[in-house]
C-alpha cells in the first residue's frame, strides 16, 4: 500500500498533476522524495524501451492534432502497434513522434480487432523495434515498468494475475461462490451453482478448496489464476477439506453462463472510475496480464518491460481504478504472424458495435425526455465531506471487488 501511494504521488508529481488529497505537506514531501529516488532507480531498466516508444498524434475531436496514445515500434522499425479504439475516429493524418523529436507520417495498415491494436506503417523515419525474443510471461508479484517516449516511466506496478483470456467464450467457471473473509489455508465455499461442474463433482458449502489442478490456492486471486489456464470442457483435480479430512475429486469446467449472478454493475463502474479516465475498450481481450499499474488512458499502447529491461508486452487498457491490462509478448508475436483486418473492415465492425450499444442504452420510453441535469449550490465544508465519502466508497469498492472475485 505504501508503494502504491508513493507511485501514485510520483505519477502526479512527475507529470505536473494535482496534489494527492488527504496528505499532509510534510508527508507529501517525504513520499515525493522517495518516489523520485525510486523512479531514478528503475529508469535504467526502461531506458532501452524508450527508443521503441512513440507518441501517436492525430485529431480525434475536431479541435486540432494532439498526442492521443503511445505506440510500440515493431518489425524493421517502420511499423508501430498502437491502441485502435483511440485513433479509430482520427480526422486527418496520423503522425508518430519519438522521444528524440524524430517524426514520421503514419497510415493504418491493418487492425487486430480482438486485441484492439492497429498496425501503423511509417514514412519518413525509422525507430528502434522492441526485442520480441523474450516470450516467457512474467509471474505474479513481478515488477513491470510501462515505458514512455521520454526517460520518465509512464507507470510501475506488479503482476496481479498471470496471462488469461477475458473473452466470454474462453472463460470457464467451476461454479462456486467463495468466502472473501476466510483466513488460513485454502478458500472456503459459500455456495455451489446449479448445473455446475462443482455440483456434479460433489462440492458443497463449507468445503475448503486446497488445490486446483495440482496448484495450491490460499486466496481468491490464486483461485482465479489457477483456473485461468483452463477452458470450458476441461477436467481438473480439486483437492478440498471436509470435516477434518481431505478429499480429491475431478470436476469439469463449464462455460460461463449469462445468468451467473452479478453485482449491480452501473454503480460499481462509477465507483471504479473515481477520478480515473478509463480506456474506451478495456475488456474482451484474448490474452492479457493484469497489473495494478496506474496507467493513464493516453499512456496505453506503449511497451512494458521487466526489471531486467526485457520486453514483457504492450500496455493495452486502463480497466478501472486498480487494474490495467498488458498483452504479453507471446501474444504479440502470434498476433504479428496473422493477417489483420483492413481499416474499413475494422471501422464497419466498430460502427456495428456502437449501434448495438445505443440500442441497448435506450432506457427512456418513447416520447419521454431524459431528466435534465441541475446545478446544486455547494454547502459549507462540502469538499471535506466529499473527501470522507470518497474514502468510504474506496473501502466499499475494495470489499465489493473481493466479493466479485469470490463469486467467480
Q: With a cut of 50, say whether residue 23 has pLDDT above it.
A: yes
Task: Please enumerate in sequence order all residues whose Cβ is within 8 A of that of 266, keeping only pairs 6 or more positions apart, or say none.
Answer: none
pLDDT at site 230: 78
Task: Please enumerate in sequence order all residues whose Cβ is within 8 A of that of 191, keeping only pairs 6 or more positions apart, or say none.
Answer: 176, 177, 205
Compute the half-sphere exposure of residue 390: CA atoms within 13 Å on the CB side of its CA: 13
What end-to-end distance do the CA atoms of the chain give, in Å?
Answer: 25
Domains of the chain: 172-255 (2.30.42.10)
Q: With a cut of 70, say whether residue 294 has pLDDT above it.
A: yes
Q: With a cut of 90, say whether residue 74 has pLDDT above it.
A: yes
User: For residues 274-305, b (16+ Cβ closer than 10 Å) or e, as one string?
Assistant: eeeebbebbebbbbbbbbbbbbbbbbbbbbbb
Query: Which pLDDT tens digit goes with each residue over 219-252?
Result: 887 887 788 767 788 899 999 999 989 999 999 9
Task: Please enumerate in sequence order all residues whose Cβ is within 8 A of that of 308, keeping only pairs 6 or more positions apart, or say none.
Answer: 45
Q: What percent of the chain has pLDDT over 70?
A: 75
Helix, strand, or coil (residue 123):
strand
CB 152 within 8 A of CB 49: no
* Average pLDDT score, the chain: 81
Contacts from 220-224 at CB under 8 Å and sequence distance 24+? Answer: 220/178, 220/180, 220/187, 220/402, 220/405, 220/406, 221/140, 221/160, 221/161, 221/405, 222/187, 223/178, 223/187, 223/405, 224/161, 224/405, 224/408
**β partners of residue 216:** 211
pLDDT at site 273: 52
Mean pLDDT, residues 103-118: 96
Could you tell me the pLDDT band of residue 17, with boundaries at 50, 70 and 90?
very low
Task: Please enumerate in sequence order all residues whose Cβ is within 8 A of that of 381, keeping only pairs 6 or more positions apart, or say none.
Answer: none
Tell me the C-alpha distance between 23 and 6, whole Å.
Answer: 12
Query: Which pLDDT tens digit goes with each residue over 321-363?
Result: 889 999 999 999 999 999 999 989 988 877 776 676 566 555 4
Cell numbers for 2: 505504501
Tell me the C-alpha distance between 146 and 295, whole Å.
Answer: 8
Exposed/middle/buried for residue 246 (C-beta within 10 Å: 0-12, 13-18, 19+): exposed
Query: Which pLDDT tens digit goes with each residue over 146-186?
Result: 999 998 899 999 998 888 888 877 777 898 999 988 888 99
Tell me the C-alpha distance between 106 and 287, whole Å.
Answer: 27
Higher per-residue confidence, 389 vs 215: 215
Confidence (pTM)? 0.69
DSSP structure class, residue 293 = -
Tell me the C-alpha distance between 393 and 275, whole Å.
Answer: 12
Task: Please enumerate in sequence order all residues whose Cβ is within 8 A of that of 189, keeping only pairs 6 or more positions apart, or say none.
Answer: 176, 177, 178, 179, 198, 203, 204, 205, 206, 207, 208, 209, 240
Amino acid at each position: 500500500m505504501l508503494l502504491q501511494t508513493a507511485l501514485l504521488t510520483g505519477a502526479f508529481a512527475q507529470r505536473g498533476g494535482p496534489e494527492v488529497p488527504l496528505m499532509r505537506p510534510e508527508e507529501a514531501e517525504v513520499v515525493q522524495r522517495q518516489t523520485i529516488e525510486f523512479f531514478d532507480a528503475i529508469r535504467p531498466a526502461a531506458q532501452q524501451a524508450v527508443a521503441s516508444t512513440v507518441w501517436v498524434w492525430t485529431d480525434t475531436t475536431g479541435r486540432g492534432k494532439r498526442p492521443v496514445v503511445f505506440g510500440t515500434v515493431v518489425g524493421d522499425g517502420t511499423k508501430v502497434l498502437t491502441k485502435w479504439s483511440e485513433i479509430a475516429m482520427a480526422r486527418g493524418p496520423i503522425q508518430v513522434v519519438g522521444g528524440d523529436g524524430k517524426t514520421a507520417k503514419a497510415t493504418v495498415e491493418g487492425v487486430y480487432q480482438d486485441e484492439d491494436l492497429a498496425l501503423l506503417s511509417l514514412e519518413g523515419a525509422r525507430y528502434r523495434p522492441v526485442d520480441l525474443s523474450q516470450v516467457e510471461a512474467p509471474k505474479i508479484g513481478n515488477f513491470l515498468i510501462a515505458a514512455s517516449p521520454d526517460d520518465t516511466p509512464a507507470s510501475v506496478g506488479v503482476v496481479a494475475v498471470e496471462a488469461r483470456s477475458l473473452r466470454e467464450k474462453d472463460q470457464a467457471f467451476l461454479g462456486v461462490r467463495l468466502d472473501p473473509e476466510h483466513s488460513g489455508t485454502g478458500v472456503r465455499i459459500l455456495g455451489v451453482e446449479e448445473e455446475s461442474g462443482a455440483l456434479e463433482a460433489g462440492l458443497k458449502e463449507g468445503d475448503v478448496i486446497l488445490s486446483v489442478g495440482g496448484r495450491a490456492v490460499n486466496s481468491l486471486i490464486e483461485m482465479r489464476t489457477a483456473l485461468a489456464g483452463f477452458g470450458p470442457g476441461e477436467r481438473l483435480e480439486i483437492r478440498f477439506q471436509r470435516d477434518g479430512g481431505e478429499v480429491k475429486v475431478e470436476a469439469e469446467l463449464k462455460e460461463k453462463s449469462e445468468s451467473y449472478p452479478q453485482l449491480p454493475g452501473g454503480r460499481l463502474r462509477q465507483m471504479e472510475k473515481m477520478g480515473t479516465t478509463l480506456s474506451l475498450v478495456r475488456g474482451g481481450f484474448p490474452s492479457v496480464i493484469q497489473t495494478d499499474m496506474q496507467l493513464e488512458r493516453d499512456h496505453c499502447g506503449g511497451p512494458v518491460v521487466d526489471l531486467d529491461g526485457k520486453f514483457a508486452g504492450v500496455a493495452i487498457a486502463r480497466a478501472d481504478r486498480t487494474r490495467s491490462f498488458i498483452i504479453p509478448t507471446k501474444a504479440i508475436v502470434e498476433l504479428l504472424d496473422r493477417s489483420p483486418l483492413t481499416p474499413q473492415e475494422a471501422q464497419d465492425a466498430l460502427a456495428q458495435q456502437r449501434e448495438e450499444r445505443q440500442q441497448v442504452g435506450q432506457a427512456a420510453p418513447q416520447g419521454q425526455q431524459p431528466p435534465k441535469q441541475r446545478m446544486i449550490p455547494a454547502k459549507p465544508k462540502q469538499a471535506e465531506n466529499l473527501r470522507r465519502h470518497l474514502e468510504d466508497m474506496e473501502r466499499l469498492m475494495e470489499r465489493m471487488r473481493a466479493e466479485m472475485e469470490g463469486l467467480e
